[in-house]
Amino acid sequence: MTALDLSSPVAVVGTGTMGQGIAQVALVAGHDVRLFDSMPGRAQAAADAIGGRLDRLVEKDRMTAADRDAARSRLHAAKSLAELADCSLVVEAVLERLDVKQKLLRDLEAVVDDDCLLATNTSSLSVTAIGGVLRNPGRFVGLHFFNPAPLLPLVEVVSGFATDVTSATRAYEMARAWGKTPVACADTPGFIVNRLARPFYAEAFAAYEAQSADPATIDAVLRECGGFRMGAFELTDLIGQDVNEAVTHSVWQAFFQDVRFTPSLAQRRLVESGRLGRKTGQGWYDYGDDAERAEPHTAEQAQAPAYVVAEGDLGPASDLLALIREAGVPVREDEEDHGTRLVLPGGGQLVLADGQTSVEFRDVVYFDLALDYRRATRIALSASQDTQPQTLSEAIGLFQALGKDVSVLGDTPGMIVARTVARIVDLAHDAVAKGVATEEDVDTAMRLGVNYPLGPFEWSRRLGRSWAHEILDELHQRDPSGRYAPSLALYRHAYATDKREGTP
Ligand SMILES: NC(=O)c1ccc[n+]([C@@H]2O[C@H](COP(=O)([O-])OP(=O)(O)OC[C@H]3O[C@@H](n4cnc5c(N)ncnc54)[C@H](O)[C@@H]3O)[C@@H](O)[C@H]2O)c1
């Protein structure tokens, strides 16, 4: 089964934000495109809006005037569903309501040919449930585009319980022929991206609720230390707090209120207060004309320690030793393996976030996981009331000597980046073990769908086989709600090569 022939007309029903974007993609690929919307006049308005966007592409020299004219002549607003009868593919992008989508699909099935592929752009409903009303649910597939569809390459091709393999393959090949990067996934709550991205928001909001730091500081740590393009607070202000919360809520509900997906109370209050983000002028941040830009907390200049003693293997942070030496701070390596830590001249310890809290130890400062310690411009530290001031000051001075800004958080087990990455890695292993998608497609989806600097499996390989499991195991002991409970899949992955002696 191959992609749709370009001579086959394609229809898009529901011509709002997503419908227009998908129609533009199909049009530019070369199809005749029919638009239909239940609101009178909307389909024509959408055709005009798409025409305007093509004009801008011509102005920017990204399309020739001749191609624009040809595309416009292939675009038609339909006044009834009957006008879609000869289409080979219909993509619905109507209101996100199960009853509305089901009724539309039943009506469509009565109009189109038996071999017409029917698709939904739903982001949160079950593809199986929508298609369940069809006489032939095998022809129905999820085609989840991302906004703005003409620009973002990722398309999740979702197979419902009854979707035929041939329909999914056809949809996949078609997305590829349209210049997109399709990934195949099973019909599970949130599909790949919206399922695996939940901890990115949840862990940032949880750190804020726990008074570890304010939004600007947490965002700066995610960006400048974690290598994420945007922090969770600024990103949800851009998406819309109501939209982001609705996705979280629907994934949590669809997983029968699985505690790993519990929504954030702080975000709930934000939505209740009408602070929905940029679109209302206020969200986590203030966007008013005279609003002051919120700055992250950055530690005052402190003296670099005279030397550090490195004990054991620093694992994902082992690059630090070279950086410390390059900064002129002598590193004494202790042959005896007391643990994996840096010991400061005052006797305090500097340890990579491992899921334990600093209150458990006499004098420890934790530092967060960085995507790349050389390129990171900020490092977060976590200390408790029991941490000696000299230890904190030496730790701050050490990272400042490496050219980093330092943000000091309250005692935060797993810090910000480390626990976020550990949870995303865990959900990724869990999803693949449950047949949601392949490792490769999961990595592609997270890099292209939400711009993560690395896919979860790439990250996992870099951090070491048991890293995520160990940190989550520690967090789970301190918060036994189940939120951090590592999955069986992650456990298997961590210990697959670490066979125990003896009989079970
Ligand atoms: N906006 C996003 O970022 C995004 C991203 C991915 C997927 N989605 C999904 O795409 C779909 C559309 O979202 P949107 O943001 O474009 O919505 P939208 O509100 O911008 O557009 C929906 C359009 O559907 C029309 N409509 C409603 N009921 C209809 C019916 N029965 N028949 C024909 N037309 C009907 C409305 O008049 C409106 O023009 C939803 O399922 C949504 O979950 C949205």
pLDDT tens per residue across span 244-283: 999 999 999 999 999 999 999 999 999 999 999 999 999 9
Q: Indicate the helix (H) or strand (E) that contains 256.
A: none
* Ligand 1 proximity of 17 Cβ (cutoff 6 Å): yes
pLDDT of residue 339: 67
Whether the pLDDT of residue 338 is over 70: the answer is no
77 pLDDT more than 50? yes
d(CA 340, ligand 1 centre) in Å: 52
**Confidence class for position 500, pLDDT limits 50, 70, 90:** low
Two structure tokens written together for 264? 């954030």
Distance between Cα 384 and ligand 1 center (Å) = 48
Interval 381-419: pLDDT, tens:
999 888 899 999 999 999 999 999 999 999 999 999 999
194-297+416-452+478-504: CATH topology is N-(1-d-carboxylethyl)-l-norvaline Dehydrogenase; domain 2 (1.10.1040)
Percent of the chain with pLDDT over 70: 97
- The pLDDT of 218-235, averaged and rounded, is 98
Ligand 1: does its nearest atom lie under 6 Å from the Cβ of 120? no
- pLDDT at 431 > cutoff 70: yes
CA of 105 to the centre of ligand 1 (A): 14
Choose one of 13, 17, 192, 236 to mutate for the ligand 1 pocket test, by most ligand atoms within 8 angstroms of C-beta.
17
What is the reported pTM? Answer: 0.95
Give 10-187's CATH code, choosing from 3.10.20.90, 3.30.530.20, 3.40.50.1820, 3.40.50.720. 3.40.50.720
Residue 104 CB less than 6 A away from ligand 1: yes
147 pocket-lining for ligand 1 (C-beta < 6 Å) = yes
H/E stretch holding 129 reads: helix 127-131
Mean pLDDT of 360-367: 89
**Does the Cβ of 16 fall within 6 Å of ligand 1?**
yes
- Res 122 pLDDT > 60: yes
Per-residue confidence (pLDDT) for residue 215, from 0 to 100: 98
For the residues 337-365, what does the mean pLDDT come to?
88
CA of 366 to the centre of ligand 1 (A): 46
Amino acid identity of residue 276, one-letter, is L
Cα gap 214→282, rounded to integer Å: 16
Query: If you average pLDDT over residues 173-197, what whole number do you get?
Result: 97
Q: Which atom of ligand 1 is nearest to the CA of 239?
A: 3
pLDDT at 1: 42
- Listing DSSP states for 353-390 in one string gives --S--GGGSSSEEEE---S-TTT-SEEEEE--TTS-HH
The total number of residues shown for the chain amounts to 504
Averaged pLDDT, 143-157: 97
| CB of 418 shorter than 6 A to ligand 1 | no
44 within ligand 1 shell (Cβ under 6 A): no
Best probe residue, ligand 1, of 12, 39, 94 (max atoms within 8 Å of C-beta): 94
pLDDT value of position 300:
97
Q: How large is the C-alpha radius of gyration of the chain?
A: 26
Q: Residues of CATH 3.40.50.720 domain(s) within the chain?
A: 10-187
Quickly list H helices, 178-300. 193-196, 198-209, 215-224, 232-239, 241-254, 265-272
Does ligand 1 have an atom closer than 6 angstroms to the CB of 243? no
Mean pLDDT value of segment 1-19: 86
Tokens of 384: 């408790």
Ligand 1 near 37 CB (within 6 A): yes
Query: Residue written as tokens 């191609």?
Result: 67
Top-level class of domain 308-409? alpha beta
pLDDT of amino acid 137: 97
pLDDT reported for residue 285 = 98
In contact, 204 and 186? CB cutoff 8 Å: no
* Rounded CA separation 376/127 (Å): 41
Can the peptide bond before residue 330 be classed as cis, meaning omega within 30 degrees of 0?
Answer: no
**Secondary-structure percent of the chain, ordered helix, strand, coil, rounded to 5:** 45, 15, 40
Q: Is the CB of 121 under 6 A from ligand 1?
A: yes
Q: Ligand 1 pocket, 35 CB below 6 A?
A: no
Distance 16 CA to ligand 1 centre (A): 5
Name the percent of the chain lying above pLDDT 90.
Answer: 90
Mean pLDDT of 83-107: 97
CB 181 within 8 A of CB 153: yes
Average pLDDT over residues 31-54: 97
Kindly report the protein residue whose alpha carbon is nearest to atom 10 of ligand 1. Answer: 93
195 close to 188: Cβ distance less than 8 angstroms: yes
340 C-beta closer than 6 A to ligand 1:
no
Pocket test for ligand 1, best of 44, 123, 194 (most atoms within 8 A of CB): 123
**pLDDT band, residue 84 (cuts 50/70/90):** very high
- Residues serving a catalytic function are 123, 144, 156, 194
Per-residue pLDDT, 5: 85
Nearest atom of ligand 1 to the alpha carbon of 36? 33
Query: Tokens 């934790």 belong to which residue?
Result: 366
Please tell me the residue having the least CA distance from ligand 1 atom 40. Answer: 96
Q: Give the model's pLDDT for residue 422.
A: 98
C-alpha 237: how far from its chain's center? 15
Establish whether residue 108 lines the binding site of ligand 1, counting it when its CB lies within 6 angstroms of any ligand atom.
no
In the chain, ranges of CATH 1.10.1040.50 domains: 194-297+416-452+478-504
Q: How far is the CA of 14 from the centre of ligand 1 (A)?
A: 6
- CA nearest to 251, candidates 240, 260, 242, 239: 260
C-alpha 167 – ligand 1 centre gap (Å): 23
Tokens of 488: 């069986």
DSSP code, position 500? P
Distances (CA, A) of 170 to 142, 175, 289: 12, 9, 49
How many whole angstroms from 17 Cα to the centroid of ligand 1?
A: 7
Mutate to test the pocket of ligand 1, among 24, 35, 37 (most ligand atoms within 8 A of CB): 37
17 CA: nearest ligand 1 atom: 16
Ligand 1 atom closest to the CA of 18, numbered from 1 = 16
